[in-house]
Amino acid sequence: MLNQQNIISEIDETMEKYCDDCFVKQQLRKDRGKPGAHQFCIESCTVGEQLQFLGQELLKMYSKE
């Protein structure tokens, strides 16, 4: 079972590993601007989907408190 600290660590590690140097994100920021790149990450990127899942799990923990 994931706890709050594990989820936050996994989010940080995922973003460092995949998002920080993402060529697609960098190119989309040039072409579409920051909002366009962000929208792609939310709607189309598999890493973005995983981050959303982890965020939902974190929200579930906060709602239990």
> What would the pLDDT profile of 25-64 be if each residue is shown by its tens digit?
999 999 999 999 999 999 999 999 999 999 999 999 888 7
Entry pTM: 0.83
Residue pair 53/7 in contact (Cβ under 8 Å)? The answer is no
Q: State residue 62's pLDDT score.
A: 82
Q: How many CB atoms lie within 10 A of CB 41?
A: 19
Q: Which two tokens stand for residue 6?
A: 């594990």
> 3-state class of 39 per DSSP?
helix
Please say if the pLDDT value at position 20 is more than 90: yes
